[in-house]
Structure 1
Amino acid sequence: MIVITAPTGQIGGRLLDILLDEAAARGEELRVIARDPGKLPDPVRARVEVVTGSHADAEVVGRAFEGADAVFWLVPPASRAPSLDAAYAGFTHAAAKAFTAHEVGHVVGVSALGRGTPVAGRAGLVTASLAMDDLIASTGVAYRALANPSFMDNLLRQAASIRDNGVFTDTVTADRRAPVAATRDIAAAAAGLLLDRSWTGTGEVPVLGPEDLSANDMAHIMSEVLGRPVRYERQSLDDFRAALTGHGMSAAFVEGYVDMMRAKDDGLDDGVQRTPQTASPTTFRSWCEQALKPAAQA
Protein backbone atom coordinates (compact mmCIF):
# COMPACT_ATOMS: atom_id res chain seq x y z
CA MET A 1 0.00 0.00 0.00
CA ILE A 2 1.36 3.41 -1.05
CA VAL A 3 -0.15 6.57 0.45
CA ILE A 4 0.06 9.82 -1.52
CA THR A 5 -0.39 13.21 0.07
CA ALA A 6 -1.24 16.37 -1.95
CA PRO A 7 -2.56 14.23 -4.86
CA THR A 8 -4.08 17.20 -6.71
CA GLY A 9 -0.90 19.34 -6.72
CA GLN A 10 1.54 19.65 -9.58
CA ILE A 11 3.94 17.05 -8.17
CA GLY A 12 1.46 14.80 -6.36
CA GLY A 13 -0.90 14.79 -9.34
CA ARG A 14 1.85 13.74 -11.73
CA LEU A 15 3.04 11.11 -9.28
CA LEU A 16 -0.47 9.70 -9.02
CA ASP A 17 -0.71 9.44 -12.81
CA ILE A 18 2.54 7.48 -12.92
CA LEU A 19 1.60 5.17 -10.07
CA LEU A 20 -1.87 4.41 -11.38
CA ASP A 21 -0.24 2.53 -14.24
CA GLU A 22 2.91 1.22 -12.59
CA ALA A 23 1.34 0.18 -9.29
CA ALA A 24 -1.54 -1.59 -11.00
CA ALA A 25 0.92 -3.65 -13.01
CA ARG A 26 2.63 -4.68 -9.77
CA GLY A 27 -0.54 -5.27 -7.78
CA GLU A 28 0.21 -2.32 -5.51
CA GLU A 29 -2.74 -0.59 -3.83
CA LEU A 30 -2.93 3.20 -3.71
CA ARG A 31 -4.47 5.44 -1.08
CA VAL A 32 -4.60 9.25 -1.19
CA ILE A 33 -5.25 11.95 1.40
CA ALA A 34 -7.25 14.81 -0.07
CA ARG A 35 -8.96 17.80 1.52
CA ASP A 36 -11.36 17.94 -1.43
CA PRO A 37 -11.77 14.57 -3.15
CA GLY A 38 -13.94 16.31 -5.76
CA LYS A 39 -10.76 17.74 -7.28
CA LEU A 40 -9.67 14.23 -8.22
CA PRO A 41 -10.86 13.16 -11.69
CA ASP A 42 -13.63 10.56 -11.58
CA PRO A 43 -11.51 7.83 -13.24
CA VAL A 44 -8.81 8.40 -10.60
CA ARG A 45 -11.24 8.23 -7.65
CA ALA A 46 -12.50 4.92 -8.97
CA ARG A 47 -9.01 3.41 -8.76
CA VAL A 48 -7.74 4.65 -5.39
CA GLU A 49 -8.86 4.64 -1.79
CA VAL A 50 -9.52 8.19 -0.60
CA VAL A 51 -9.08 9.45 2.95
CA THR A 52 -10.69 12.87 3.25
CA GLY A 53 -9.03 15.59 5.31
CA SER A 54 -5.76 17.37 6.01
CA HIS A 55 -2.58 15.34 6.38
CA ALA A 56 -1.68 17.62 9.30
CA ASP A 57 -4.53 16.02 11.26
CA ALA A 58 -3.59 13.13 13.57
CA GLU A 59 -6.87 11.29 13.06
CA VAL A 60 -6.60 11.58 9.26
CA VAL A 61 -3.02 10.32 9.01
CA GLY A 62 -3.83 7.61 11.53
CA ARG A 63 -6.48 6.22 9.18
CA ALA A 64 -4.40 6.81 6.07
CA PHE A 65 -1.21 5.14 7.32
CA GLU A 66 -2.91 2.00 8.64
CA GLY A 67 -1.36 -0.87 6.70
CA ALA A 68 0.80 1.45 4.57
CA ASP A 69 4.17 0.26 3.29
CA ALA A 70 5.25 3.63 1.88
CA VAL A 71 4.18 7.28 2.02
CA PHE A 72 4.78 10.21 -0.31
CA TRP A 73 5.02 13.29 1.89
CA LEU A 74 4.55 16.83 0.59
CA VAL A 75 3.72 19.82 2.78
CA PRO A 76 1.23 22.11 0.99
CA PRO A 77 1.83 25.89 0.78
CA ALA A 78 0.78 27.64 3.98
CA SER A 79 1.42 31.26 3.13
CA ARG A 80 -0.57 32.54 6.12
CA ALA A 81 1.13 30.33 8.71
CA PRO A 82 2.33 32.22 11.80
CA SER A 83 5.84 30.75 11.52
CA LEU A 84 7.92 28.64 9.17
CA ASP A 85 8.27 25.99 11.85
CA ALA A 86 4.48 25.71 12.03
CA ALA A 87 4.25 25.46 8.25
CA TYR A 88 6.78 22.62 7.91
CA ALA A 89 7.81 20.68 11.04
CA GLY A 90 4.62 21.64 12.85
CA PHE A 91 2.48 20.44 9.95
CA THR A 92 4.47 17.17 9.88
CA HIS A 93 4.39 16.47 13.64
CA ALA A 94 1.27 14.25 13.62
CA ALA A 95 2.51 12.30 10.61
CA ALA A 96 5.90 11.70 12.22
CA LYS A 97 4.17 10.05 15.18
CA ALA A 98 1.95 8.04 12.84
CA PHE A 99 4.92 6.73 10.82
CA THR A 100 6.15 5.06 14.01
CA ALA A 101 2.77 4.02 15.38
CA HIS A 102 1.78 2.30 12.13
CA GLU A 103 5.26 0.98 11.32
CA VAL A 104 5.41 2.64 7.92
CA GLY A 105 8.48 1.27 6.18
CA HIS A 106 9.47 3.99 3.73
CA VAL A 107 8.77 7.70 3.29
CA VAL A 108 9.68 9.88 0.30
CA GLY A 109 9.44 13.64 0.89
CA VAL A 110 9.67 16.76 -1.23
CA SER A 111 12.40 19.04 0.08
CA ALA A 112 15.15 21.31 -1.23
CA LEU A 113 18.81 21.60 -2.05
CA GLY A 114 21.11 23.41 0.34
CA ARG A 115 22.05 21.04 3.16
CA GLY A 116 25.69 21.54 4.06
CA THR A 117 26.08 24.88 2.29
CA PRO A 118 27.19 27.98 4.23
CA VAL A 119 23.77 29.60 3.74
CA ALA A 120 21.60 26.60 4.69
CA GLY A 121 20.84 27.98 8.15
CA ARG A 122 19.52 31.31 6.84
CA ALA A 123 17.58 30.22 3.78
CA GLY A 124 14.04 30.77 5.01
CA LEU A 125 11.65 28.20 3.55
CA VAL A 126 14.53 25.88 2.68
CA THR A 127 15.89 25.96 6.23
CA ALA A 128 12.43 25.04 7.51
CA SER A 129 12.12 22.25 4.96
CA LEU A 130 15.47 20.76 5.99
CA ALA A 131 14.33 20.82 9.63
CA MET A 132 11.22 18.92 8.55
CA ASP A 133 13.47 16.29 6.95
CA ASP A 134 15.36 15.94 10.22
CA LEU A 135 12.09 15.42 12.10
CA ILE A 136 11.01 12.64 9.75
CA ALA A 137 14.44 11.00 9.84
CA SER A 138 14.40 11.06 13.66
CA THR A 139 11.44 8.62 13.66
CA GLY A 140 13.66 5.81 12.37
CA VAL A 141 11.67 5.35 9.16
CA ALA A 142 13.63 4.77 5.96
CA TYR A 143 13.51 8.25 4.42
CA ARG A 144 14.57 9.87 1.16
CA ALA A 145 14.24 13.63 0.76
CA LEU A 146 13.97 14.75 -2.85
CA ALA A 147 16.40 17.69 -2.82
CA ASN A 148 15.14 20.10 -5.46
CA PRO A 149 16.28 23.39 -6.96
CA SER A 150 13.84 25.96 -8.35
CA PHE A 151 11.07 24.53 -10.56
CA MET A 152 10.75 25.28 -14.27
CA ASP A 153 7.00 25.10 -13.73
CA ASN A 154 7.05 28.22 -11.55
CA LEU A 155 7.38 30.23 -14.76
CA LEU A 156 3.81 29.27 -15.68
CA ARG A 157 2.69 31.87 -13.14
CA GLN A 158 4.22 34.48 -15.47
CA ALA A 159 2.84 33.10 -18.72
CA ALA A 160 0.64 36.16 -19.28
CA SER A 161 3.54 38.58 -18.77
CA ILE A 162 5.77 36.53 -21.04
CA ARG A 163 3.04 36.51 -23.70
CA ASP A 164 1.89 40.12 -23.41
CA ASN A 165 5.09 41.92 -22.42
CA GLY A 166 7.91 39.57 -23.34
CA VAL A 167 9.18 39.83 -19.74
CA PHE A 168 9.72 37.50 -16.79
CA THR A 169 11.11 38.44 -13.41
CA ASP A 170 13.04 36.90 -10.55
CA THR A 171 15.40 38.16 -7.87
CA VAL A 172 18.58 36.30 -8.87
CA THR A 173 21.57 37.77 -10.70
CA ALA A 174 20.90 37.62 -14.45
CA ASP A 175 24.01 35.62 -15.38
CA ARG A 176 24.18 33.32 -12.35
CA ARG A 177 23.85 29.73 -13.50
CA ALA A 178 22.07 27.22 -11.25
CA PRO A 179 20.18 23.94 -11.58
CA VAL A 180 16.47 24.00 -12.42
CA ALA A 181 14.13 21.00 -12.59
CA ALA A 182 10.76 20.08 -14.06
CA THR A 183 8.12 18.84 -11.63
CA ARG A 184 7.46 15.88 -13.92
CA ASP A 185 11.00 14.66 -13.18
CA ILE A 186 10.54 15.13 -9.43
CA ALA A 187 7.38 13.04 -9.60
CA ALA A 188 9.20 10.36 -11.60
CA ALA A 189 11.99 10.22 -9.03
CA ALA A 190 9.42 9.83 -6.25
CA ALA A 191 7.66 7.05 -8.15
CA GLY A 192 10.89 5.11 -8.58
CA LEU A 193 11.64 5.26 -4.87
CA LEU A 194 8.11 4.34 -3.82
CA LEU A 195 7.94 1.33 -6.12
CA ASP A 196 11.44 -0.03 -5.41
CA ARG A 197 11.68 -0.03 -1.65
CA SER A 198 14.97 -1.90 -1.38
CA TRP A 199 16.68 1.20 0.09
CA THR A 200 17.24 1.71 3.80
CA GLY A 201 18.35 4.46 6.15
CA THR A 202 18.00 8.16 5.45
CA GLY A 203 19.40 10.41 2.75
CA GLU A 204 18.78 12.88 -0.02
CA VAL A 205 18.05 12.29 -3.70
CA PRO A 206 18.94 15.44 -5.67
CA VAL A 207 16.91 16.21 -8.81
CA LEU A 208 19.06 18.71 -10.70
CA GLY A 209 17.80 18.81 -14.27
CA PRO A 210 20.25 18.20 -17.14
CA GLU A 211 22.14 21.54 -17.03
CA ASP A 212 22.71 24.73 -15.08
CA LEU A 213 21.04 27.79 -16.57
CA SER A 214 21.01 31.51 -15.84
CA ALA A 215 17.99 33.77 -16.18
CA ASN A 216 19.59 35.17 -19.34
CA ASP A 217 19.97 31.62 -20.72
CA MET A 218 16.29 31.00 -20.04
CA ALA A 219 15.30 34.23 -21.76
CA HIS A 220 17.27 33.19 -24.86
CA ILE A 221 15.66 29.74 -24.97
CA MET A 222 12.16 31.13 -24.39
CA SER A 223 12.70 33.65 -27.20
CA GLU A 224 13.62 30.88 -29.61
CA VAL A 225 10.76 28.58 -28.60
CA LEU A 226 8.09 31.30 -28.56
CA GLY A 227 9.38 33.01 -31.71
CA ARG A 228 9.46 36.45 -30.08
CA PRO A 229 11.88 38.35 -27.81
CA VAL A 230 11.69 37.51 -24.11
CA ARG A 231 13.87 39.33 -21.60
CA TYR A 232 14.66 38.98 -17.93
CA GLU A 233 14.08 41.78 -15.44
CA ARG A 234 15.68 41.44 -12.04
CA GLN A 235 13.36 42.35 -9.18
CA SER A 236 14.83 43.81 -6.00
CA LEU A 237 14.25 41.92 -2.77
CA ASP A 238 12.39 44.95 -1.42
CA ASP A 239 10.00 44.91 -4.37
CA PHE A 240 9.67 41.15 -4.04
CA ARG A 241 8.82 41.56 -0.35
CA ALA A 242 6.20 44.20 -1.14
CA ALA A 243 4.58 42.00 -3.81
CA LEU A 244 4.32 39.02 -1.45
CA THR A 245 2.89 41.21 1.30
CA GLY A 246 0.32 42.49 -1.16
CA HIS A 247 -0.83 38.94 -1.77
CA GLY A 248 -1.76 38.57 1.90
CA MET A 249 1.07 36.32 3.05
CA SER A 250 2.02 36.26 6.71
CA ALA A 251 5.08 38.25 7.74
CA ALA A 252 6.89 35.01 8.57
CA PHE A 253 6.25 33.56 5.13
CA VAL A 254 7.19 36.78 3.35
CA GLU A 255 10.55 36.89 5.11
CA GLY A 256 10.98 33.16 4.53
CA TYR A 257 10.62 33.66 0.78
CA VAL A 258 12.93 36.68 0.79
CA ASP A 259 15.59 34.82 2.78
CA MET A 260 15.33 31.82 0.44
CA MET A 261 15.79 33.94 -2.67
CA ARG A 262 18.73 35.80 -1.13
CA ALA A 263 20.31 32.46 -0.26
CA LYS A 264 19.80 31.14 -3.79
CA ASP A 265 21.77 34.10 -5.11
CA ASP A 266 24.46 33.30 -2.53
CA GLY A 267 24.92 29.72 -3.73
CA LEU A 268 22.24 27.71 -1.91
CA ASP A 269 21.68 25.37 -4.89
CA ASP A 270 25.36 24.95 -5.79
CA GLY A 271 26.38 22.29 -3.29
CA VAL A 272 25.60 19.10 -5.24
CA GLN A 273 27.53 17.90 -8.28
CA ARG A 274 25.54 16.82 -11.30
CA THR A 275 26.13 13.16 -12.13
CA PRO A 276 24.11 10.60 -14.10
CA GLN A 277 22.39 9.79 -10.79
CA THR A 278 21.52 13.39 -9.82
CA ALA A 279 20.64 14.71 -13.29
CA SER A 280 17.03 14.55 -14.46
CA PRO A 281 16.05 14.33 -18.14
CA THR A 282 13.72 17.22 -19.00
CA THR A 283 15.60 20.09 -20.66
CA PHE A 284 14.38 23.64 -20.26
CA ARG A 285 13.88 23.86 -24.02
CA SER A 286 11.65 20.80 -24.15
CA TRP A 287 9.72 22.04 -21.10
CA CYS A 288 9.16 25.38 -22.83
CA GLU A 289 7.89 23.61 -25.95
CA GLN A 290 5.58 21.26 -24.06
CA ALA A 291 4.37 23.44 -21.16
CA LEU A 292 5.21 27.13 -21.44
CA LYS A 293 4.37 27.64 -25.11
CA PRO A 294 0.82 26.20 -24.84
CA ALA A 295 0.23 28.25 -21.65
CA ALA A 296 1.48 31.44 -23.28
CA GLN A 297 -0.73 30.85 -26.31
CA ALA A 298 -3.85 30.11 -24.25
Structure 2
Amino acid sequence: MIVITAPTGNIGRHLLSRLLESAPAAGEELRVVVRDPARLPDAARGRVEVIAGSHADAEVVDRAFEGADAVFWLVPPIPAPTPRDAYSGFSGPAVRALTAHGVGHVVGVSALGRGTPLADRAGLVTATHALDDLIADSGAAYRALANPSFFENLLEESDSIREKGVFSDTADADRKAPLVAAADIAAVAAGLLLDRSWTGTDSVPVLGPQDLSPNDLARIMTEQLGRPVRYERQPLDELHTALVGHGLTESFVRGIVDMKRAKDQGLDAGVARTPDTASPTGFEQWCARTLRPAVFS
Protein backbone atom coordinates (compact mmCIF):
# COMPACT_ATOMS: atom_id res chain seq x y z
CA MET A 1 0.00 0.00 0.00
CA ILE A 2 1.36 3.39 -1.09
CA VAL A 3 -0.12 6.51 0.52
CA ILE A 4 -0.02 9.79 -1.41
CA THR A 5 -0.55 13.11 0.37
CA ALA A 6 -1.50 16.27 -1.55
CA PRO A 7 -2.55 14.24 -4.63
CA THR A 8 -4.15 17.22 -6.41
CA GLY A 9 -1.18 19.61 -6.10
CA ASN A 10 1.56 20.41 -8.61
CA ILE A 11 3.65 17.36 -7.76
CA GLY A 12 0.98 15.07 -6.36
CA ARG A 13 -1.25 15.07 -9.44
CA HIS A 14 1.68 13.99 -11.64
CA LEU A 15 2.67 11.35 -9.09
CA LEU A 16 -0.87 9.99 -8.85
CA SER A 17 -1.10 9.75 -12.63
CA ARG A 18 2.17 7.82 -12.84
CA LEU A 19 1.24 5.44 -10.06
CA LEU A 20 -2.19 4.78 -11.53
CA GLU A 21 -0.36 3.56 -14.64
CA SER A 22 2.35 1.49 -12.97
CA ALA A 23 1.21 0.46 -9.49
CA PRO A 24 -1.30 -2.25 -10.54
CA ALA A 25 1.35 -4.11 -12.53
CA ALA A 26 3.60 -3.98 -9.47
CA GLY A 27 0.83 -5.33 -7.26
CA GLU A 28 0.55 -2.09 -5.31
CA GLU A 29 -2.63 -0.59 -3.89
CA LEU A 30 -2.98 3.18 -3.65
CA ARG A 31 -4.48 5.36 -0.94
CA VAL A 32 -4.73 9.17 -1.10
CA VAL A 33 -5.24 11.80 1.58
CA VAL A 34 -7.15 14.75 0.14
CA ARG A 35 -9.17 17.63 1.58
CA ASP A 36 -11.62 17.69 -1.32
CA PRO A 37 -12.13 14.30 -3.00
CA ALA A 38 -14.11 16.02 -5.78
CA ARG A 39 -10.81 17.43 -7.08
CA LEU A 40 -9.38 13.98 -7.80
CA PRO A 41 -9.15 13.13 -11.51
CA ASP A 42 -11.77 10.86 -13.02
CA ALA A 43 -9.06 8.28 -13.71
CA ALA A 44 -8.58 7.80 -9.97
CA ARG A 45 -12.21 7.16 -9.07
CA GLY A 46 -12.78 3.61 -7.94
CA ARG A 47 -9.08 2.83 -8.27
CA VAL A 48 -7.73 4.44 -5.09
CA GLU A 49 -8.82 4.38 -1.48
CA VAL A 50 -9.70 7.91 -0.38
CA ILE A 51 -9.09 9.34 3.09
CA ALA A 52 -10.83 12.71 3.21
CA GLY A 53 -9.32 15.46 5.34
CA SER A 54 -6.12 17.32 6.10
CA HIS A 55 -2.90 15.37 6.48
CA ALA A 56 -2.09 17.69 9.39
CA ASP A 57 -4.90 16.00 11.35
CA ALA A 58 -3.81 13.21 13.71
CA GLU A 59 -6.94 11.12 13.20
CA VAL A 60 -6.67 11.42 9.41
CA VAL A 61 -3.04 10.33 9.17
CA ASP A 62 -3.62 7.54 11.70
CA ARG A 63 -6.26 6.06 9.37
CA ALA A 64 -4.21 6.78 6.28
CA PHE A 65 -1.00 5.12 7.49
CA GLU A 66 -2.58 1.96 8.89
CA GLY A 67 -1.26 -0.93 6.81
CA ALA A 68 0.86 1.37 4.64
CA ASP A 69 4.18 0.21 3.23
CA ALA A 70 5.27 3.57 1.85
CA VAL A 71 4.20 7.23 2.11
CA PHE A 72 4.74 10.22 -0.15
CA TRP A 73 4.90 13.23 2.17
CA LEU A 74 4.44 16.82 1.01
CA VAL A 75 3.79 19.86 3.21
CA PRO A 76 1.40 22.22 1.41
CA PRO A 77 2.42 25.89 0.99
CA ILE A 78 0.18 27.18 3.77
CA PRO A 79 1.36 30.17 5.85
CA ALA A 80 1.81 29.51 9.55
CA PRO A 81 2.90 31.54 12.58
CA THR A 82 6.52 30.41 12.14
CA PRO A 83 8.47 28.37 9.57
CA ARG A 84 8.84 25.60 12.13
CA ASP A 85 5.06 25.50 12.58
CA ALA A 86 4.64 25.30 8.80
CA TYR A 87 6.83 22.21 8.46
CA SER A 88 7.60 20.28 11.65
CA GLY A 89 4.45 21.48 13.39
CA PHE A 90 2.22 20.51 10.46
CA SER A 91 3.95 17.13 10.16
CA GLY A 92 4.15 16.19 13.85
CA PRO A 93 1.02 13.99 13.86
CA ALA A 94 2.16 12.24 10.69
CA VAL A 95 5.60 11.45 12.10
CA ARG A 96 3.98 9.93 15.17
CA ALA A 97 1.67 7.88 12.94
CA LEU A 98 4.61 6.66 10.84
CA THR A 99 6.20 5.26 13.99
CA ALA A 100 2.98 3.86 15.42
CA HIS A 101 2.16 1.95 12.22
CA GLY A 102 5.72 0.92 11.40
CA VAL A 103 5.68 2.46 7.93
CA GLY A 104 8.80 1.20 6.19
CA HIS A 105 9.54 3.86 3.57
CA VAL A 106 8.86 7.60 3.18
CA VAL A 107 9.63 9.86 0.24
CA GLY A 108 9.40 13.57 1.08
CA VAL A 109 9.61 16.83 -0.83
CA SER A 110 12.56 18.85 0.47
CA ALA A 111 15.05 21.44 -0.76
CA LEU A 112 18.65 21.83 -1.82
CA GLY A 113 21.27 23.42 0.42
CA ARG A 114 21.84 20.91 3.22
CA GLY A 115 25.46 20.98 4.32
CA THR A 116 26.23 24.35 2.74
CA PRO A 117 27.33 27.42 4.74
CA LEU A 118 23.92 28.99 4.02
CA ALA A 119 21.83 26.05 5.23
CA ASP A 120 21.27 27.30 8.78
CA ARG A 121 20.08 30.76 7.70
CA ALA A 122 17.87 29.92 4.76
CA GLY A 123 14.47 30.49 6.34
CA LEU A 124 11.86 28.09 4.99
CA VAL A 125 14.57 25.84 3.58
CA THR A 126 16.16 25.54 7.02
CA ALA A 127 12.74 24.56 8.39
CA THR A 128 12.37 21.99 5.61
CA HIS A 129 15.68 20.37 6.53
CA ALA A 130 14.59 20.22 10.18
CA LEU A 131 11.50 18.32 9.04
CA ASP A 132 13.70 15.88 7.11
CA ASP A 133 15.54 15.13 10.35
CA LEU A 134 12.24 14.63 12.17
CA ILE A 135 10.99 12.13 9.58
CA ALA A 136 14.32 10.31 9.57
CA ASP A 137 13.97 9.83 13.34
CA SER A 138 10.62 8.03 12.84
CA GLY A 139 12.39 4.77 12.06
CA ALA A 140 11.30 4.66 8.41
CA ALA A 141 13.79 4.56 5.57
CA TYR A 142 13.65 8.08 4.14
CA ARG A 143 14.52 9.80 0.89
CA ALA A 144 14.32 13.60 0.83
CA LEU A 145 13.84 14.93 -2.71
CA ALA A 146 16.22 17.89 -2.66
CA ASN A 147 14.74 20.35 -5.12
CA PRO A 148 15.54 23.84 -6.37
CA SER A 149 12.77 26.29 -7.28
CA PHE A 150 10.03 24.97 -9.55
CA PHE A 151 9.14 26.13 -13.06
CA GLU A 152 5.55 26.13 -11.78
CA ASN A 153 6.27 29.14 -9.55
CA LEU A 154 6.07 31.20 -12.75
CA LEU A 155 2.39 30.33 -13.13
CA GLU A 156 1.77 32.88 -10.38
CA GLU A 157 3.19 35.47 -12.79
CA SER A 158 0.98 34.50 -15.75
CA ASP A 159 -1.33 37.53 -15.39
CA SER A 160 1.62 39.93 -15.23
CA ILE A 161 3.28 38.23 -18.19
CA ARG A 162 0.05 38.45 -20.19
CA GLU A 163 -0.81 42.04 -19.29
CA LYS A 164 2.60 43.68 -18.88
CA GLY A 165 5.18 41.32 -20.35
CA VAL A 166 6.91 41.24 -16.95
CA PHE A 167 7.76 38.68 -14.29
CA SER A 168 9.54 39.42 -11.02
CA ASP A 169 11.58 37.78 -8.30
CA THR A 170 14.33 38.85 -5.90
CA ALA A 171 17.37 37.15 -7.51
CA ASP A 172 20.08 38.95 -9.44
CA ALA A 173 19.12 38.98 -13.11
CA ASP A 174 22.25 37.05 -14.10
CA ARG A 175 22.29 34.58 -11.20
CA LYS A 176 22.16 31.10 -12.76
CA ALA A 177 20.57 28.36 -10.68
CA PRO A 178 18.95 24.98 -11.19
CA LEU A 179 15.19 24.89 -11.83
CA VAL A 180 12.94 21.86 -12.12
CA ALA A 181 9.53 20.81 -13.43
CA ALA A 182 7.10 19.32 -10.91
CA ALA A 183 6.47 16.38 -13.23
CA ASP A 184 10.15 15.42 -13.04
CA ILE A 185 10.05 15.44 -9.24
CA ALA A 186 6.99 13.19 -9.39
CA ALA A 187 8.81 10.78 -11.71
CA VAL A 188 11.67 10.37 -9.23
CA ALA A 189 9.21 9.95 -6.36
CA ALA A 190 7.30 7.26 -8.27
CA GLY A 191 10.47 5.28 -8.90
CA LEU A 192 11.42 5.33 -5.23
CA LEU A 193 7.94 4.41 -4.03
CA LEU A 194 7.66 1.44 -6.38
CA ASP A 195 11.19 0.08 -5.88
CA ARG A 196 11.71 0.10 -2.14
CA SER A 197 15.02 -1.76 -2.08
CA TRP A 198 16.68 1.30 -0.51
CA THR A 199 17.38 1.66 3.20
CA GLY A 200 18.53 4.32 5.62
CA THR A 201 18.28 8.06 5.11
CA ASP A 202 19.55 10.10 2.19
CA SER A 203 18.73 13.04 -0.07
CA VAL A 204 18.03 12.74 -3.79
CA PRO A 205 18.74 15.94 -5.76
CA VAL A 206 16.46 16.69 -8.74
CA LEU A 207 18.13 19.52 -10.64
CA GLY A 208 16.50 19.93 -14.04
CA PRO A 209 18.62 19.80 -17.21
CA GLN A 210 20.47 23.14 -16.88
CA ASP A 211 21.06 26.19 -14.71
CA LEU A 212 19.16 29.30 -15.83
CA SER A 213 19.18 32.95 -14.75
CA PRO A 214 16.12 35.22 -14.68
CA ASN A 215 17.45 36.84 -17.86
CA ASP A 216 17.65 33.38 -19.46
CA LEU A 217 14.05 32.73 -18.46
CA ALA A 218 12.95 36.04 -19.97
CA ARG A 219 14.69 35.23 -23.24
CA ILE A 220 13.17 31.76 -23.49
CA MET A 221 9.69 33.01 -22.56
CA THR A 222 9.98 35.71 -25.24
CA GLU A 223 10.81 33.02 -27.80
CA GLN A 224 8.14 30.57 -26.69
CA LEU A 225 5.32 33.06 -26.19
CA GLY A 226 6.07 35.14 -29.26
CA ARG A 227 5.99 38.42 -27.33
CA PRO A 228 8.55 40.37 -25.29
CA VAL A 229 8.97 39.29 -21.68
CA ARG A 230 11.38 40.98 -19.29
CA TYR A 231 12.51 40.45 -15.72
CA GLU A 232 12.13 42.98 -12.91
CA ARG A 233 14.07 42.42 -9.71
CA GLN A 234 12.11 43.09 -6.53
CA PRO A 235 14.11 44.36 -3.53
CA LEU A 236 13.90 42.11 -0.48
CA ASP A 237 12.61 44.92 1.74
CA GLU A 238 9.81 45.56 -0.75
CA LEU A 239 8.91 41.85 -0.70
CA HIS A 240 8.93 41.94 3.10
CA THR A 241 6.53 44.88 3.20
CA ALA A 242 4.20 43.30 0.65
CA LEU A 243 3.99 39.97 2.50
CA VAL A 244 3.33 41.64 5.86
CA GLY A 245 0.61 43.63 4.10
CA HIS A 246 -1.02 40.35 3.07
CA GLY A 247 -1.36 39.39 6.72
CA LEU A 248 1.54 36.96 7.15
CA THR A 249 3.32 36.93 10.49
CA GLU A 250 6.69 38.63 10.85
CA SER A 251 8.35 35.29 11.58
CA PHE A 252 6.96 33.59 8.50
CA VAL A 253 7.78 36.58 6.28
CA ARG A 254 11.34 36.57 7.61
CA GLY A 255 11.52 32.88 6.68
CA ILE A 256 10.54 33.65 3.09
CA VAL A 257 12.93 36.60 2.82
CA ASP A 258 15.82 34.64 4.33
CA MET A 259 15.17 31.81 1.86
CA LYS A 260 15.16 34.23 -1.09
CA ARG A 261 18.37 35.87 0.14
CA ALA A 262 20.11 32.51 0.56
CA LYS A 263 19.08 31.36 -2.91
CA ASP A 264 20.46 34.57 -4.41
CA GLN A 265 23.73 33.89 -2.58
CA GLY A 266 24.06 30.41 -4.11
CA LEU A 267 22.15 28.10 -1.74
CA ASP A 268 21.12 25.80 -4.61
CA ALA A 269 24.57 25.63 -6.23
CA GLY A 270 26.16 23.00 -4.01
CA VAL A 271 25.22 19.84 -5.94
CA ALA A 272 26.83 18.82 -9.22
CA ARG A 273 24.58 17.99 -12.15
CA THR A 274 25.21 14.40 -13.23
CA PRO A 275 23.11 11.83 -15.12
CA ASP A 276 21.72 10.82 -11.71
CA THR A 277 20.78 14.33 -10.54
CA ALA A 278 19.65 15.89 -13.84
CA SER A 279 15.99 15.63 -14.84
CA PRO A 280 14.75 15.79 -18.42
CA THR A 281 12.17 18.55 -18.81
CA GLY A 282 13.72 21.71 -20.26
CA PHE A 283 12.30 25.17 -19.70
CA GLU A 284 11.46 25.57 -23.39
CA GLN A 285 9.38 22.39 -23.28
CA TRP A 286 7.66 23.44 -20.05
CA CYS A 287 6.82 26.87 -21.45
CA ALA A 288 5.22 25.38 -24.55
CA ARG A 289 3.27 22.76 -22.61
CA THR A 290 2.29 24.63 -19.44
CA LEU A 291 3.07 28.35 -19.35
CA ARG A 292 1.80 29.26 -22.82
CA PRO A 293 -1.73 27.88 -22.18
CA ALA A 294 -1.82 29.67 -18.81
CA VAL A 295 -0.78 33.03 -20.31
CA PHE A 296 -3.12 32.83 -23.29
CA SER A 297 -6.11 31.30 -21.50
Mapped to 2, the partners of 1:197 and 1:125 lie a distance apart of 29
Q: Which aligned pairs between 1:1-298 and structure 2 lie closer than 5 A? A: 1-79=1-79, 81-298=80-297
The SS at the match of 2:18 is: helix
The SS at the match of 2:120 is: helix
Mapped to 1, the partners of 2:142 and 2:45 lie a distance apart of 28
Q: Structure 1: give runs of 5+ residues left out of the alignment.
A: none
* More deviation, 248-257/37-46: 37-46
Report the Cα offset of residue 250 of structure 1: 2.4
Mapped to 2, the partners of 1:45 and 1:84 lie a distance apart of 35
Report the Cα offset of residue 243 of structure 1: 2.1
Q: Structure 2: give runs of 5+ residues left out of the alignment.
A: none
TM-superposition CA deviations, 1:141-197 (whole Å, max 9, x none): 100000000001110111111122111100000001000000010111111100110
Report the Cα offset of residue 44 of structure 1: 1.5
Mapped to 1, the partners of 2:59 and 2:189 lie a distance apart of 25
TM-superposition CA deviations, 1:29-74 (whole Å, max 9, x none): 0001112212213442321101112212221111111110100000
Mapped to 2, the partners of 1:236 and 1:251 lie a distance apart of 17
Root mean square deviation of aligned Cα: 1.0
Report the Cα offset of residue 247 of structure 1: 2.6
Mapped to 2, the partners of 1:46 and 1:220 lie a distance apart of 45
Report the Cα offset of residue 138 of structure 1: 1.1
Mapped to 1, the partners of 2:162 and 2:35 lie a distance apart of 34
Mapped to 1, the partners of 2:149 and 2:123 lie a distance apart of 14
2:128 partner letter: S
CA change 1:91–1:286 in 2 (3 A) is same
The SS at the match of 1:180 is: strand
Question: % of aligned pairs identical?
Answer: 69
Mapped to 1, the partners of 2:45 and 2:253 lie a distance apart of 36
1:38 partner letter: A
* More deviation, 172-181/97-106: 97-106
2:23 partner letter: A
* More deviation, 270-279/48-57: 48-57
The SS at the match of 1:175 is: coil
TM-score by length of 2: 0.98
Mapped to 2, the partners of 1:270 and 1:10 lie a distance apart of 24
2:92 partner letter: H
Aligned residues: 297
The SS at the match of 2:145 is: strand
Mapped to 2, the partners of 1:259 and 1:43 lie a distance apart of 41
TM-superposition CA deviations, 1:266-296 (whole Å, max 9, x none): 1110110100000000001111111111111
1:12 partner letter: G
TM-superposition CA deviations, 1:241-278 (whole Å, max 9, x none): 12222332222221111110000011110110100000
1:99 partner letter: L
TM-score by length of 1: 0.97
The SS at the match of 1:60 is: helix
The SS at the match of 1:10 is: coil
Mapped to 2, the partners of 1:93 and 1:274 lie a distance apart of 33
